[in-house]
Amino acid sequence: MQEPTILIVEDEADLANLLKISLQKEGYQQITIAGTIQNAWASFQQTTPDIVLLDVMLPDGEGYDLCRRIREVSHVPVLFMSAKTEEIDKIVGLAIGGDDYITKPFSPKEVAYRVKAQLRRAGYQTQDAPASSSEKAIQVGPFQLNIDETEVQKDGVLLELTAKEIGLMACFMRNPNRILSKETLFERVWGEGFFGSDNTVMVHIRRLREKIEQDASKPMYITTVKGLGYKLVIPQEAQR
């Protein structure tokens, strides 16, 4: 697979360079840095990156605006970096299409780890063993998950899901009709310990429902089990 391209949108040059060095140590060499929304959008169109590290507060506007523009044309993972630590800021970032949100100050090594996790979810499995030839795509009710866990179809139609939404569907489809707690979903999809807030999972579940349910306000497939978590409801006779 071609080496992933990374776009860092950060106006603090020292921090941007530290992030670049940290990512290079992890083996990523195709890295572009932009310090403004205008330059970042131009770089995005030119390099078509596989992941974007996006500062929220930039000289010519907010990173949220750039994320919205990106989401109009692409589903690449977007990782917000921000000095804004209020919970509402994180919710806004995730609600408009962000896949992760990390608050400053942070360790560049931690960011590199999160980038690696996002790229893994997006299909960049560098040193993993190949899938067994006997393994097949998972079919659960109307949903089908491909072997690489990079695409989900419903009734044969490809769903336009983000990396995190595909990760959630993979969890649900491997555990149909089983209750999965918010902690379990967070740890399996985000690849880290649960930090005590369920808003991250809640926001992504809401966005996922909007894409797979006929009426997201009355979900038939991904249901909420009050006080316990969520489950993918599939009649036993519909499972294959």
pLDDT at 151: 87
Listed in sequence order, the DSSP H helices in the chain are 13-25, 37-47, 63-71, 87-95, 108-121, 163-174, 182-190, 199-212
- Enter the pTM of the model: 0.57
pLDDT in tens, the chain (240 residues): 568 999 999 999 999 999 999 898 888 899 999 999 999 999 999 999 999 999 999 999 999 999 999 999 998 999 999 888 788 888 888 899 999 999 888 888 888 888 988 888 776 654 443 444 445 688 999 999 987 777 899 999 999 888 888 889 999 998 999 999 888 888 788 766 555 455 888 999 999 999 999 999 999 999 999 988 999 998 765 544
Residue environment code for 6-29, b if the CB has 16+ CB neighbours within 10 A, otherwise e: bbbbbbeeebbebbbebbeeeebe
